[in-house]
Amino acid sequence: MQILHGILQDYAWGSTDGIPAVLGTEPTGSPQAEYWLGAHPKAPSELADGTTLDALLTAHPEQIGTANINRFGPRLPFLMKLLSAKQALSLQAHPSRAQAIEGFERENRDGIAMDAPERDYRDDWPKPEAVVALTEFHGLCGFRDPAETQALAAQLGVPALDQLFQPLVEADGIARVFLEILGIERLEDDLLPDVVAAAEKHAGDDSELGRFCDTIVELQRDYPGDPGVLAAMLLNRILLQPGDSFFMPAGNLHAYLRGTALEIMSNSDNVLRGGLTPKHVDVDELARVVDFMPGFPGLIDQVEVSPGVWRYPTQALEFALYRVGEADDQPLPAPGSARILLVIEGEVRLVGAEGELVLGRGESAFVPADEDVRVSCTGQAFLGGSALP
């Protein structure tokens, strides 16, 4: 096991203080949107001697774990992140494994450069995700019941919006309306100003209508004139309190609005965007990936696996997420898998056959698959590994 240093990403939507507050570092005044802990080639974490984690695992693939290699190949199957947003991220969905393999091979055949802005598939992996809120965390996740969306929109009193949303309750209505919105031209000169003006009258109200209008007003402020402002009206708005978590399977349309959270996902960078972004939006490919069935996957119920250690169970095989609380000499979960641990508060002691590590707030460690480790904790930490036995 070794000390591991994550890599900061300074995307413009990031907050300046959320990640420093978690890591115990000083804000720089610049956005710190994400902090990556993993072996993704875009931003691999670094070990104490300066070696990157992807280089270590290329040289010593046995540290990934036999079950992982047999199922996924010689690649760390998960990526952990801290994420802190001051404004909304793009509306987005991620492909299934079959969709990612097909899309990646198709774009390779078509000769689309890997760094081309119009490229949809950067690798052939899916990207299911789980999120744990570290602060109050606002987001959009999955499509709202279409009848409820119609009823909320009707209260705004904008006839053109009612007409746009009229097909929602038909069999394919969500897909039809969503794709029509993304195809609207001259949005700022047509429907959106009336919708925003009506929403401003109710924004801030402690009601379902108020939260519906909050989404419209906030997104128009951050992305004025973007069709994604209207598309976001079709989604469930969710509010997580610290400790709450949820899982997003392939095809789930979502967007994070604001707050700080810990994420774990498969080791992929495949994103199909649907608005709220200046980046490429491929409507046809997005339509093939998105699951248009309404519903919210629901919050994850933590399961205690040993005294002071809880798991967040999900459908994903590429990752498993654990929370370590007040624990005393417990087995570190996910034996047989490479693991990454991040300390959020207090102190963590890791003890293995080759020695021990003591980690404080904001520090991380990499634990190879072939090392049995026991953990003691006086605060809180998160551990990522694979879900394979």
Helix (H) or strand (E) holding 345: strand 339-345
Residue 4 neighbours by CB under 8 Å, 6+ apart: 37, 45, 46, 47, 53, 340, 364, 365, 366
State how far the Cα of 287 lies from the Cα of 71, in Å rounded to an integer. Answer: 29
The three-state secondary structure class of 226 is coil
Secondary structure E strands in 116-166 = 129-133, 137-143
**Cα–Cα separations (whole angstroms), residue 223 to 53, 177, 294:** 36, 20, 25
- Report angle CA 79, 387, 46 to the nearest 5 degrees: 30
Residue 353 neighbours by CB under 8 Å, 6+ apart: 371, 372
Annotated catalytic residues are 273
Q: Which of 279, 272, 296, 6 is CA-nearest to residue 131?
A: 296
Burial class (CB in 10 A: 0-12, 13-18, 19+), 48: exposed
Q: Which of 240, 213, 109 is CA-nearest to residue 157?
A: 213
First to last CA, the chain: 20
**Cα–Cα separations (whole angstroms), residue 309 to 70, 80, 144:** 28, 18, 34
364-367 and 339-345 beta bridge pairing:
antiparallel
- CB count, 10 Å around CB of 26? 8
Spell out a b/e string for 257-294, using b for 16 or more CB atoms within 10 Å of the CB, else e: bbbbbbbbbbbbbbbbbbbbbeeebeeebbbebbbbeb
